[in-house]
A = this chain, B = another copy of it.
């Protein structure tokens, strides 16, 4: 970090030779690959999210699970997993962890005892208020970082890529 500053200073001293620092890397066609730029962008956003949510000891996927249950109380476990693109087999441990923390409750259906509906506990509902606040703060940081117009331009085409349809 300090090294960059030193190099800048040096370049200012010996003005003419525009050789400031190591030669930049040529990304070739990489930045024309949607998958690559998408991946790097996702990692950058998750990094901020992750730091913001470390105080709650929650990962992005856990926030998405809790949010879906909050808005669809009683939805069968399998349908929650499916809606989030998580395989049911990997979803078992996720729900287990949230249940162990007393954030989520599982209730077997009386009509079909194979089905286990998911609900937030009181503690879970209370926590969601804080989580949504943290999430909104996080969104605003990203917005400030890239500018309002860039931020708002992203959602519509991204949903098209992700879900194959417009925002709806």
Binding site for B on A (CB under 8 A): 22, 25-46, 49, 60, 64, 67-68, 70-72, 75, 79-80, 83, 85, 132, 135, 138-139, 142, 145-147, 150-151, 153-164, 167
Which residue of chain B lies nearest to A22 when distances are taken between CB atoms in the complex?
B79
**Contacts A25-B75, A33-B135, A153-B153: A38 and B68 contacting too (C-beta < 8 A)?**
no
B154/A150 in contact, CB under 8 A = no
Cα-based distance from A20 to B46 in the complex (angstroms) = 36
CB distance from A11 to the nearest CB of B (A): 19
In the A-B complex, the 3 residue pairs with the closest CB atoms: A40-B162, A28-B71, A150-B157
Q: CA A153 – CA B156 in complex, angstroms?
A: 10
Cβ 8 A contact of A41, one of B29, B68, B161: B161
A139 to B155, CA, bound (A): 20
Question: In the bound complex, how far is the Cα of B33 from the Cα of A45, in angstroms?
Answer: 10
* Distance to closest chain B CB from A50 (angstroms): 9
Interface of A is mostly: helix
Partner pick for A38 among B29, B45, B85, B156, CB 8 A cutoff: B45
Cα distance, A130 to B85, chains bound together (Å): 31
B28 touches A162 (CB 8 A): no
User: Do B167 and A146 touch (CB < 8 A)?
Assistant: no
Shortest distance in angstroms between A88's beta carbon and chain B's nearest beta carbon? 15
Task: Please give me the residue from chain B that is nearest to A69 by CB atom.
Answer: B28
A158 near B60: Cβ-Cβ < 8 Å:
no
Which one of A37, A80, A132, A167 has the highest number of Cβ atoms from chain B below 10 Å of its Cβ?
A37
- List, in ascending order, chain B residues with CB within 8 A of A28's CB: 67-68, 70-71
